[in-house]
Amino acid sequence: MAKPDSDESLTEQLARIARRDMSVFPKFYDATSGRLFANILGIVKNREAAEDVLQETYIKVLNRAHAFDSDRGKPWPWLVLMARNTAIDRVRARGRRANLDGEKFLIAMDDNDQPPVDETLATHGEGVRAMDEVSKYDAACTECIRAAFYDGLTYSEIAERENLPLGTVKSRIRRGLKFLKSRLDR
């Protein structure tokens, strides 16, 4: 039998939740809430707000479980991304930016309607594995992707921090993600 928080178990639980089988929800919550809460608390920096965001995240899970596709990714990155984005939305709604290790924590968006860097990486599984693959390709691409994914900087903020033209930052991230996709799709 799979561990309650294994990819296999969570995938099955999400499928049952998508079919509106709520009998599995307490088990799903117990298996995931601790890790999700820790991630959320790291962003919102307030226990009460983190509890609210966790609840909002699970409401989204209930409403969006049908959209989870195990062929495109694993359940943990999908859940963490949903929780992270909900937490960032909460921080933005309060009218200020959260700080994580002294860096602004925002999603890097592309002007050409490309998905956020964090969504692209999360779709392919754990971010550490993804960054390991990118680091094999090009150090400059790796640094830009790391700044977007881990530091949560926007393209403009990366360009300013690295003293690079905005187009160069976008190109490096695009090249790195293209390489990453080719490596992880094998």
106-184: CATH, from 3.20.20.70, 1.10.10.10, 1.20.120.80, 1.10.3470.10: 1.10.10.10
* pLDDT for position 97: 42
Whole-number percent of the chain with pLDDT over 90: 30
User: For residues 181 and 30, which has the higher predicted lDDT (pLDDT)?
Assistant: 30
pLDDT band at 33 (very low <50, low <70, confident <90, very high): very high
Q: Average pLDDT for residues 28-42, to the nearest whole number? A: 89
Name, in order, each residue with C-beta under 8 angstroms of 117's C-beta and a sequence gap of 6 or more.
Answer: 107, 108, 145, 148, 149, 173, 177
Contact 168, 137 (CB under 8 A): no
Asked if 162 and 146 touch (Cβ cutoff 8 Å), the reply is no
pLDDT per residue over 80-114, tens digit each?
A: 889 988 988 887 777 544 444 333 433 333 344 44
Per the CB < 8 A criterion, the answer to whether 45 and 39 are in contact is no
Query: Once rounded to an integer, what is the mean pLDDT over residues 3-18?
Result: 85
35-54: average pLDDT: 88
Residue 65 is classified by DSSP as G
Q: How confident is the model at residue 16 (pLDDT cuts 50, 70, 90)?
A: very high
First to last CA, the chain: 29
| pTM, full prediction | 0.55
Q: What is the pLDDT of residues 117-152, one digit of tens each?
A: 555 555 444 455 666 666 777 888 888 887 776 656
Cα 18 to Cα 21, 31, 72: the distances in Å are 7, 17, 16
Residue 77's φ and ψ, nearest 5 degrees, are -60, -35
- What's the pLDDT score for residue 29? 94
What pLDDT is stored for residue 19 in this prediction? 95
Instruction: Note the CATH architecture for domain 7-93.
Output: Orthogonal Bundle (1.10)
Range 52-59 average pLDDT: 95
Domain boundaries, the chain: 7-93, 106-184
Q: At what angle do helices 47-64 and 7-18 cross, to 10 degrees?
A: 70
39 Cβ contact list (under 8 Å, min separation 6): 80, 83, 84, 87
| pLDDT category of residue 1 using cuts at 50, 70 and 90 | very low
